[in-house]
């Protein structure tokens, strides 16, 4: 590859030492590297080390007038083919997402007109915090490539996602960004939005329900079903990767929140219905949750006890609200409303009937006869008033990505982006 110019911004974190190896790799392949150290970054690596390795001046201060004379900060931010932030701390990501510019690094990031790639590194709780996830979603929506951090043991002794990717992985992502690699790479034959500028849902708001609901009988017992939530979470992840602002309303499932997704946890169908109503308006709603059809008519305040007589307590049921049908009738009905249907037989006929009954636009009919709930794959048929689109058996991630492409195309015809948020 022809030599390129990389502006490398090094944030403050224990992982900053890995940036030294990154500079070495970049130089070895002939790229020109200019380093910028944040104040916190200077606590971990020295300008001298970076200057020696990059064979270039290292910049640290916005108020270094000599630097302004030699090269203004605007020029510095633009005289690069790619701006790389590694490590990108939670603070740096927050400032980038908020458009703050209170030091040299953040000023360059705001002033640049070049692609930006950020490699996050922070404590696992900080990475998983809703604020950081929100910032990452904003940045991805803005076209910044935010790499996923590695998972493992952290310097602080905790375990989980948050480690800076290895220098070789960051280097590979930089090469990919520099070659303008095609936006869609292949994953199970489907587009991969994760490290690309392909964001067909940028500017769209999407609401997703996922998982089962738990309907309490008494403080310790509940009615539930076998939904794992995996398909709904995969859809939320794919929607965020495709650039959408995603609200995931999740029943009780022990799944991690996908990056960039705003998650609201609920327990019962009625809580889910209330959160869905709160979440409107959106451009598209995808109801993947396996909502319990019935709840206990009365919830006992105390644990129901056996009285020793062998008498079985009566369990009266009441019907839960149909959330999907309710959204279909709502004045805030999204431009595209999608339901799911898990069926074991006559899959398409049942889905067609459900489409009419629920008043939604598509039903994603899911054949669960061969692979029951909780599996890793799905064979789906997209049933619409226009016909049926049957897909091969795919991983749940691949179903999610393929669905996002279809949704993006459909939204472009139903609700052009310019008019999308008129109702806000
Ligand atoms: O009627 P059935 O449960 O088969 O319909 C499935 C579809 O309806 C799914 O999209 C599911 O999320 C949605 N649904 C709902 N509220 C209910 C029952 C189902 O939103 N109470």
pLDDT tens digit string along 290-305?
999 999 999 999 999 9
CATH architecture for residues 186-304+313-414: 3-Layer(aba) Sandwich (3.40)
Q: How close is the Cα of 340 to the center of ligand 1, in Å? A: 7
CA distance 221 to 239: 34
Q: How close is the Cα of 341 to the center of ligand 1, in Å? A: 7
340 is known to lie in a ligand binding site: yes
Which ligand 1 atom is the nearest neighbour of the CA of 327? 20
Quote the pTM value. Answer: 0.59
DSSP 171-213: HHHHHHHHTT--S-EEETTEEE-TTSS--TTTT-EEEEEESB-
Could you say which of 51, 52, 155, 156 is catalytic? 156
| pLDDT tens track for 168-198 | 989 989 988 887 643 333 234 445 555 445 6
| pLDDT tens track for 319-354 | 999 999 999 999 999 999 999 998 889 999 999 999
324 is known to lie in a ligand binding site: yes
Ligand 1 mutation target, pool 276, 287, 288, most atoms within 8 A of CB: 287
102 is known to lie in a ligand binding site: no
Q: How close is the Cα of 277 to the center of ligand 1, in Å? A: 15
CATH 3.40.50.10300 in the chain: give the residue spans.
186-304+313-414
- Tell me, yes or no, if 35 is annotated catalytic: no
With pLDDT > 70 as the criterion, what percentage of the chain qualifies?
Answer: 90
Question: Is the pLDDT confidence value at 139 over 80?
Answer: yes
CATH 3.40.50.1950 in the chain: give the residue spans.
5-180
H, E, C per residue of 250-281: ECCCCCCCCCCEEEEECCCHHHHHHHHHHHCC
Q: How close is the Cα of 322 to the center of ligand 1, in Å? A: 6
Which residue has tokens 């910028």?
36
What is the reported pLDDT for 182? Answer: 35
Residue nearest to atom 4 of ligand 1 (CA): 341
Given this structure, which CATH class describes domain 5-180? Answer: alpha beta
| pLDDT tens track for 348-393 | 999 999 999 999 999 999 888 766 566 778 889 999 999 999 998 8
Which residue has tokens 């630097």?
67
Which ligand 1 atom is the nearest neighbour of the CA of 338? 10
Pairing of strands 205-210, 245-250: parallel
Which ligand 1 atom is the nearest neighbour of the CA of 321? 21
List ligand 1's pocket residues with C-beta within 6 A: 209, 269, 287, 289, 291, 320, 322-324, 339-341, 354
What SS3 state is found at 347? helix
Residue nearest to atom 9 of ligand 1 (CA): 340
């Amino acid at each position: 590859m022809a030599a390129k110019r990389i502006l490398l911004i090094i944030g403050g974190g224990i992982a900053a030492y890995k940036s030294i190896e990154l500079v070495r790799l970049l130089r070895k392949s002939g790229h020109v590297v200019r380093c910028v150290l944040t104040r916190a970054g200077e606590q971990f690596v020295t300008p001298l080390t970076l200057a020696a390795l990059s064979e270039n001046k290292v910049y640290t201060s916005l108020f270094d007038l000599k630097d302004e004379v030699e090269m203004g900060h605007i020029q510095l931010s633009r005289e690069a083919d790619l701006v790389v932030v590694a490590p990108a701390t939670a603070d740096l990501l927050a400032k980038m997402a908020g458009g703050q510019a209170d030091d040299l690094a953040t000023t360059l990031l705001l002033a640049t007109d070049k692609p930006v790639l950020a490699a996050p590194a922070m404590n696992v709780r900080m990475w998983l915090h809703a604020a950081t996830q929100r910032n990452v979603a904003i940045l991805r929506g803005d076209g910044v490539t935010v790499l996923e951090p590695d998972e493992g043991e952290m310097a602080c002794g905790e375990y989980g996602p948050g480690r800076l990717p290895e220098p070789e992985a960051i280097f590979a992502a930089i090469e990919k960004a520099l070659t303008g690699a095609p936006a869609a790479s292949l994953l199970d034959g489907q587009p991969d939005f994760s490290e690309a500028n392909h964001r067909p849902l940028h500017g769209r708001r999407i609401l997703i329900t996922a998982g089962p609901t738990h309907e309490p009988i008494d403080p310790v017992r509940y009615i539930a079903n076998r939904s794992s939530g995996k398909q709904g979470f995969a859809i939320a992840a794919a929607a965020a990767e495709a650039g959408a602002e995603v609200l995931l309303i999740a029943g009780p499932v022990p799944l991690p929140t996908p990056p960039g997704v705003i998650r609201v946890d609920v327990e019962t169908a009625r809580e889910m219905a209330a959160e869905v109503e709160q979440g409107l308006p959106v451009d598209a709603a995808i109801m993947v949750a396996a909502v319990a059809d019935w709840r206990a008519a009365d919830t006992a305040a105390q644990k129901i006890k056996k009285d020793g007589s062998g008498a079985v307590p009566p369990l009266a049921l009441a019907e839960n609200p149909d959330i999907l049908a309710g959204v279909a009738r709502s004045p805030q009905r999204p431009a595209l409303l999608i339901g799911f249907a898990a069926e074991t037989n006559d899959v398409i006929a049942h889905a067609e009937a459900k489409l009419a009954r629920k008043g939604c636009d598509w039903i994603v009919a899911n054949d669960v006869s061969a692979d029951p709930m909780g599996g890793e794959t799905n064979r789906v048929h997209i049933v619409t008033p226009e016909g049926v689109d049957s897909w091969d058996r795919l991983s749940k991630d691949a179903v999610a990505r393929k669905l996002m492409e279809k949704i993006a195309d459909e939204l472009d015809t139903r609700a052009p982006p310019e008019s999308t948020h008129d109702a806000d």
